[in-house]
Structure 1
Amino acid sequence: MSMNDEVLFEGEHLQFRRRLGWEYVEHRTAKESVMIVASTDEGRLVLVDEMRPAVDARVVCLPAGLVGDEGPEDRERAARRELAEETGYEAAQVELLGRGPGSPGMSSEIVNFYRARGVRLAGAQGDREREEIRVHIVSPEELPAWTRNREAEGILIDPKVWAGLFLSGSRP
């Protein structure tokens, strides 16, 4: 928080702030997030969809979550943890692809894109019931038609899916 920041409101998870006349939000417990472009040995992608109250719709996205929201951890550990919690998959290899602001006009959050290779189902999803997360395994070739079908069902597609695929070189 800068000396010029004014806290407008503090919720359980977010702070609403103003700096230089600009209003934005910041996570109270974490400043960064991870998004994971996960693929099986066969090259199939691991995606999730979940209900997002802010847009009043289910949203297809990459497995993702906050870094250090429950205590100190590095980004790679957060990527591995979130992949396992949201999907039940574990990765043989994880590497940073790139990072940057996810929505710089309204949030201070920095998004870290990771590639996870050689993912295998290792157990049950951790927060599946609470977050109502559905896991999808889709080949890159099927992805354009698959996403069109989801949109026809009223499900939104997070554009960061496409950004992550671009960064990883896994273009459909």
Structure 2
Amino acid sequence: MVREREILGTGKYLELVREDGWEFAIRNKGSGVVGIIPVTDDNALVLVEQWRAAIDGPCIELPAGLVGDEDDAEEDMLVAAQRELEEETGFCAREWKWLYEGASSAGMTPETVHMYLATRLSRVGQGGGTSHENITVHVVPLDTIEQWLAEQRKRGATIDIKVFGALGIARGAVDPLD
């Protein structure tokens, strides 16, 4: 099947495409996306918060990032996950488990996210992201996280939907490979 693709606009990071009547965005940089579910030895989930222009406000998220966006198109997914965890949160993990890959927003982008569970964490830095990011790190006990998330919503933060999906995995109640 031949698809007719039209480029509607190209920015520094995204391209807007129309294909067979559908419009969607494609990233110009990077070869993939990784997301991390970092769980401390004392059963806390490490989350990040940053202002997001698309929602015009703060967003509570799992640590995540682009693979190969630093001029290394061949970067390994796990290596990218390890790099992003340390950059964004200041934590390193001694144990990593690949969980699954899935669409981030199938109606808007062909992008998929490779999710990893990171455990046996140790703090090696402050986190906060790279020079163009302003990330706040939150270490939230799993036994009070729903209340904490509700408080964040009340103050006006958006909670990324992947955080809710990560809770069962972080608590060990859900194994996505079963």
Corresponding residue for residue 107 of structure 1: 109
**Could you report, residue by residue, the CA deviation over 1:9-66 in whole angstroms, capped at 9, with x for unpaired residues?**
1100001111111000011112421110001111211001100011001000000101
**Residue type at the aligned position of 1:4:** E
Query: Shift in Å at residue 123 of structure 1?
Result: 1.7
Are the aligned partners of 1:140 and 1:170 in contact in 2 as well (CA < 8 Å)? Answer: no
Number of equivalenced pairs:
170
CA drift at 1:92: 0.5
Specify the SS of the correspondent of 1:141.
helix
**Is contact 1:113–1:164 with CA below 8 Å preserved after alignment?**
no
Normalising by structure 1, what TM-score? 0.92
Q: Does 1:132 align with 2:126?
A: no
- Pair 3,21 (structure 1): closer, same or farther in 2 beyond 3 Å: closer
In structure 2, distance between residues paired with 1:43 and 1:141: 8
Give unpaired runs (5+ residues) of structure 1: none
How big is the shift at 1:113? Answer: 1.0
2:168 pairs with one of 150, 166, 169:
166
Calculate the aligned-residue CA RMSD, in Å.
1.7
Helix, strand or coil at the partner of 2:132: helix
**89-98 or 126-135, which deviates more:** 126-135
How far has the Cα of 1:110 moved from its partner? 0.5
Write the distance in 1 (CA, Å) between the matches of 2:116 and 2:15.
Answer: 27
TM-score normalised over the length of structure 2: 0.89
Identity %: 37
Shift of the 23–119 alpha-carbon distance from structure 1 to 2, 3 Å rule, reads: same
User: 1:8 deviation in Å?
Assistant: 1.1
Q: Would the aligned equivalents of 2:3 and 2:20 in 1 still touch at CA under 8 Å?
A: no
The equivalent of 1:156 in structure 2 is 158
